Chains A and B, each alone.
Chain A
Amino acid sequence: MKISWVDWNSVCRSKEVGGLGVRRIREFNNALLGKWCWRLLVEKGSLWCRVLSTRYGEEGGHVLEGGCDASSWWRVVTTIRREGLFRDNVSRLMGNGKLTMFWSDVWVGDKALLDRFSRLFDLSLRKDAPVFEMSQLGWGRMVRRGSGGRGCFCGRRSWWGNFVYHFIM
């Protein structure tokens, strides 16, 4: 009897493209763990998320990583949360801005504002303010006026003015 050998790549290719549909276990495991990262975002405030944030602490709306005494499951989940696959493919659709942290969430551009404007962040007095609160400082008005980028520098009660005030207060 002759044994037919099949290349491992073909074995793992999906059935639609002529493979045997066996899953690569490492990648599949990471994809499944990615689901936890996703649920961590969308089920924020649920019991299991609150348990995690009590156990490991929370900063800027994110559960902390917890170092080497964290559970091995949580260590892997945080690794995946940090990595490119997850970070590059998740984005924020803004509604009223109440659930998004102005500084620490990635909601405008592809980086968190605290990374892009770290010096301003250091000066900020409300490091954990949601976007909604910051927009209350008057930037909503600025948007409605439809002024250009420079528009916020003029006007007595402009967003810029209030915003600076926010730093000095």
Chain B
Amino acid sequence: MGELCLSLHNVTLQVDKDDKWLWKLESSNDFTVRSAYKVLIHQQHSATTVSSKVLWHKDIPLKIVLFAWRLFRDRLPTKDNLFRRGVISSDALVVVVRWNLPLIYFYIVIFLGKSGTLFTVGWVSAPSSLVCLRITSINLVLLVVTILRRDKPFCN
């Protein structure tokens, strides 16, 4: 109660004015799409550049890059995605749900050939809460790693 009093004690109401909303990103305090877009662009930038910069490496075979790229963007035809687009029915999803895996973050590390440098491609988080997708993702990640391991060592 005391805390509530304390936080209210600086507030003064002005009888002759209406309450107003302020948009902090514009000096006019009015919402503009431009200012919102600008902020969104900055957020987007910091989120994705890390993996894409490293992934599009000329020495990594194209099919692998594309595969991993689609994986990161969650654009692979996983059951979850197929369901979302109405390709398969929800019954097809139910089968795997009893695998109650915790939310896992997958991490791909690629060892690059002779130089032996640790090459981090990036993080994949399970983008949806559906377990089936997580399971397929594990398989996919393992697949990516195996393919990369099996290929001839690339030089950096």
Q: Is B11's beta carbon under 8 Å from chain A?
A: yes
**Restricting to A137-169, which residues have a CB under 8 Å from any CB of B?**
139-140, 142-143, 147-153, 159-160, 163-164
Chain A residues with CB under 8 Å of B15's CB are 96
Q: Is B95's beta carbon under 8 Å from chain A?
A: no
Q: How many residues of A contact B (CB 8 A)?
A: 54
- Known A28-B37, A109-B7, A142-B9: A89·B19 in contact at CB below 8 Å: no
Chain A residues with CB under 8 Å of B100's CB are none
Q: How large is the interface on B (under 10, 10 to 19, 20 to 34, 35 or more residues)?
A: 35 or more
Return the CB mask of B6-38 against A: 1 if under 8 Å, else 0: 111101111111111111110001010110110
Chain A residues with CB under 8 Å of B3's CB are 117
Q: Within the assembled complex, what's the spacing in Å between the Cα atoms of A153 and B52?
A: 59
Tell me how far the C-beta of B82 lies from the nearest C-beta in chain A, rounded to whole angstroms.
Answer: 19
Q: Is B104's beta carbon under 8 Å from chain A?
A: no
Q: Which residues of A contact B (CB under 8 A)?
A: 9, 12, 23-24, 26-28, 30-32, 34-35, 38, 41-42, 85, 88-100, 107-109, 113, 116-117, 120, 131-132, 135, 139-140, 142-143, 147-153, 159-160, 163-164
